[in-house]
Structure formats: structure tokens, C-alpha cells
Amino acid sequence: MSTSLDLFRLDNKVALITGAASGLGAAIATALAQAGATVAVHGNRRPADDTAAAINASDSNAKAVAFQSDLSSTTGAEKLFAEVKAKLGRVDILINNAGTILRNEATEVSLEDWQQVLQVNLTSVFQLSQLAARDIISRGAPGPEGQSSGKIVNIASLLSFQGGIRVPAYTASKGGVAQLTKALANEWAPKGIQVNAIAPGYFATTNTEALQADETRNRQILERIPAGRWGAPEDLAGAALYLSSPASNYVTGTILTVDGGWMGR
């Protein structure tokens, strides 16, 4: 039986966090490393070297390694996973955080843009989850009661529940992420893999720069958030650590909103 302290430790675990060069992914990677995990931090156009360097400089026991891959390519997930395996040997925890958003009228969205958003936000999530589950399952069944053999945490969105405006591909992809989370949770629970999602509310990152800069939208958003402020990336770290750690071994197929109260309003 774990002590309350062990419940949130990730010693001897390897965690892969996609989209970790900045924003939510960097904050999640930092929290998992502080809990003892070796972290593979993935970047795309912006390399995740700075995130890795900051984590390694923060603690002599910390280990972070940077990787690069374009997940808009159908081969990007496989390339990334193979490189992480070659360098770190295994993946115990997968955080599917990388995501992209393209704003346009539904009548104007090109097929190319639609497919790019779906590939990055949904298809690559499935591809990486499949690769991670195969890797975890290959190491054998989980131990006795309450133990876990692996964790997958998908970063969903409030648009997993709501429709949004002028972001049809993003909404479709994040709705898909929520449903995929449940489908994979059902199949892999007997294998000891917990699959959950986090639906962040409005967080101040590069992803939401346009909204923050739009005075009217910014005011409307703040008026609706009971907490009265945008989330900071660090506000997501506790939920990500919980869903990556033994504390959540009996939690699977859930979508946890971290939104300052938005969805309850």
C-alpha cells in the first residue's frame, strides 16, 4: 500500500510529453520531473531544448531529454516514439498535449486545414496512444491490487463539450479526443493502463494570444469565469500529476475540467 507521499511520486517512470516547448506542456513536464519521472519533452517548430535545460538545471536528480517531430505528418508519431524508445528505453506515461487551432468560417475551411488539425489533435493522439499501450503491455500485466502499468493523459478542451465559433476542425478534434479517451480506457483498463483527459478552460498561452488581445472577447471570457482570471500553465500541473501518478489508479475514462469554474456556470 502506498503512503500518501508515494501516491504522487513517479520515480523510475519515463514520461513523454508532446508540445512541451512552451505553455501547458512545459508546465506539465516540469511537474512530472519534480515528482521523479525522467521526461521526454517534445517540440515541433520550437524545439523543447529550453524546457529540458530548465528542468535539468533545477535539480541534480532531474533528467529531461528533448525530441523533435512534426505530428501533422502521418509518420511523425512513429518517428517520435521510436526515438524516445531508443534513447530512454520505455514509456510509462504519455501526455498527449500537442495541439493546433485554425480560426476560419466553416464555409471557408479548406480540406487541407481540416486534415492538418485532425491529424495533429486527434489522429496523432491515437497513434501515440497505440504505440505507448503496446510498449506498456509488452512489459506484462500489472502487479497486485491497485497497481498500474501505465498512464495516458490527453489534453482535451472545453470544446470537447461546447461547439465554439469559427473553429470547427478544432472542436471536432477535441470532441474526438474526449470520446477516444473513453474508448481506450475501456479496452486498456484490464491491462492496467488508465486513460484520462484534462479539459483546460482559458489559459494564457500562445494558443490563446488572439483571444487575450481582443478586448471585447477578453472581457466576455473573464466575466464568465467564476475564478475571474485566465489560468496560468502551472494551474494545470496538479491535475496532470494526479492523472499520471498512483493517486489515480482507480480513475479511468474521465475528463477532468480545470477551468476556474467555467463549465459549472
Ligand X SMILES: NC(=O)c1ccc[n+]([C@@H]2O[C@H](COP(=O)([O-])OP(=O)(O)OC[C@H]3O[C@@H](n4cnc5c(N)ncnc54)[C@H](OP(=O)(O)O)[C@@H]3O)[C@@H](O)[C@H]2O)c1
What is the number of the residue whose Cβ is closest to ligand X? 99
Rank residues 8 and 170 by Cβ distance to ligand X and give the closer one. 170
Rank residues 193 and 255 by Cβ distance to ligand X and give the closer one. 255
What distance in Å separates the CA atoms of residue 254 and residue 68, rounded to the nearest whole number? 29
Rank residues 44 and 148 by Cβ distance to ligand X and give the closer one. 44
Cell of 240: 496532470
- Give min distance, CB of 2 to ligand X, in A: 29
- Give min distance, CB of 136 to ligand X, in A: 22
Whether residue 170 lies in the annotated active site: yes
Rank residues 169 and 192 by Cβ distance to ligand X and give the closer one. 169
What distance in Å separates the CA atoms of residue 128 and residue 18, rounded to the nearest whole number? 10
- Give min distance, CB of 108 to ligand X, in A: 21
Positions touching ligand X (CB under 6 A) are 19, 21-25, 43-46, 70-72, 97-100, 120, 155, 157, 200, 202-203, 205-208
- Give min distance, CB of 149 to ligand X, in A: 25
Residues 6 or more apart in contact with residue 175 via CB below 8 angstroms? 159, 160
Catalytic: which of 170, 202, 242, 250? 170
Rank residues 188 and 203 by Cβ distance to ligand X and give the closer one. 203
- Give min distance, CB of 5 to ligand X, in A: 29
Residue type, position 62, single letter: A
Contact 254, 199 (CB under 8 A): no
Catalytic positions: 170
